[in-house]
Structure 1
């Protein structure tokens, strides 16, 4: 899996899908969009556009403090974390995939840091997972070598996200990136298996466009309240499961260790 030839910020248009297998089947899909930012190349620069800003209010915006530890420069934070976890060769581009703020508001259920080696190969992926209780946890996907496009990566579940799932079993991840004509397509798939097998299938897919005023206008006016809708959909789907009497599990204390594999 290689980064694009030109390290330019992207706005990707696509779809979020979710399917629950049991005890009551439930599935939904909705159109969405997200940012993909080359953190190492971008440095402290802003965006060359009027409708999207970095660290200040706009139709769409990206705030550094929403990611990392909220204090250090993003590239310093991710490099330090990787080094502490024994990943010393992710010295190429690092792409952050996350939802922007829309009119100043954002909630990212999961953000992905795609960490490449200097030769362009994907070396590790850091998944920043958040729940609606204001907690977050990092899953570091690291095989010790380059990660092939579409290969399966696994992590044991240790963090509470949904009250309709126990903290048991694990996640299986697949990340794909492909050029089709003049377009670049990305897919992040996460399947959750508990003690009884496959329980949830989720995916986020998109087609990359250059982050510019035209793409921002397209995103904002097509989905003017997208990030508000993310939280609304989470609670709506939770209500549907509750009405179907899917077992409910109280929130336990978060894990003490912030990064797991």
Structure 2
């Protein structure tokens, strides 16, 4: 059973990436995300069209996707999202996580939605074990330096004190990449939001810039670029 913090919450923490081969590259920086109930979203910060589809509400987008993948949501289910909020009308979410919870707080399923810098999006549904772990196949072109093959080993944790998302990519029988976000949720008071934005201003623009900066660094290191093929979104993603 999941014990949620008070929502909406600002989750202040750090994101880290570690590339192991063929070029070793690591970074870690401070950031923050929002943890919200999709049925009670903060005004002006989130739009349904930013996540999964073009339905009239974010919950409908999630329900359409989960039903298409064999997990219909019940009216009393709760959907909690970890994502970036819009900043001056712009948002970029490399990864958004949706926990679909029963009225008792048990995890019915989770949905991972991925955006790349080419304007494409993809989503996958999983059913974590009791420790929040699961494995997914890599189905989406995210980085120009990784082929669309292999598997993701994912660990999710959300409770009143900490939120963690950790992902390991394995290809060719080697663990090649690890990404993680971990932070502490705080009630999204005006003061908490101000402090988070003060320490990490223009956070969605920062994400956009850092992805490109590190991409250029890897390109200058002569890391081979993988050709991008056309991506057809999975059923339930519009």
The answer to whether the Cα contact below 8 Å between 1:174 and 1:188 also exists between their aligned partners in 2 is yes
Match for residue 46 of structure 2? 62
* Shift of residue 178, structure 1, vs aligned partner: 4.2
Give CA-to-partner distance per residue, 1:66-93, whole Å, 9 cap, x none. Answer: 2231332122221232223211366532
Q: Could you tell me which residue of structure 1 aligns to residue 2 of structure 2?
A: 2
What is the aligned counterpart of 1:168 among 126, 144, 149? Answer: 149
SS of alignment partner, residue 136 of structure 2: strand
Note the 1:24-63 alignment, pairs <5 A. 24-40=23-39, 42=40, 47=42, 54-55=43-44, 61-63=45-47
Deviation at 1:101, TM superposition (A): 1.3
Residue 227 of structure 1 is matched in structure 2 by 204
What count of residue pairs does the alignment treat as equivalent? Answer: 236
Q: Identify the structure with bigger relative contact order (alpha carbons < 8 Å, sequence gap 6+).
A: 2
For the aligned residues, what is the CA RMSD? Answer: 1.9
Q: Is the alpha carbon distance of 1:259 and 1:28 closer, same or farther for their aligned partners in structure 2, counting shifts above 3 Å?
A: farther
- Structure 1 residues 105 and 197: CA distance shift in structure 2, 3 A: same
The corresponding residue for 1:194 is: 171
1:21 alignment counterpart: 20
Deviation at 1:259, TM superposition (A): 6.1
Q: How does 1:122-137 map to 2 (within 5 A)?
A: 122-137=107-122
Compute the displacement of 1:113 (Å): 0.6
Query: In structure 2, how many angstroms separate the alpha carbons of the residues matched to 1:70 and 1:216?
Result: 28
Question: Which runs of 4 or more aligned residues in structure 1 lie more than 6 Å from their structure 2 counterparts after TM superposition?
Answer: none
CA distance in 1: counterparts of 2:164 and 2:81, whole angstroms: 14
TM-score (ref. length: structure 1): 0.84
Deviation at 1:119, TM superposition (A): 1.7
Aligned pair partner of 2:189 in 203, 207, 212: 212
TM-superposed CA distance for 1:196, in Å, is: 3.4
Residue segments in structure 2 that go unaligned for 5+ positions in a row:
none
Structure 1 segments unaligned to the other structure (5+ residues) = 48-53, 56-60
SS at match of 1:101: coil
Instruction: Indicate whether 1:249 and 2:226 are aligned.
Output: yes
Q: Give yes or no for the alignment of 1:148 onto 2:125.
A: no
Contact 1:156–1:171 (CA under 8 A) maintained in structure 2: yes
TM-score (norm 2): 0.92
1:106 lines up with 2:91 in the alignment: yes
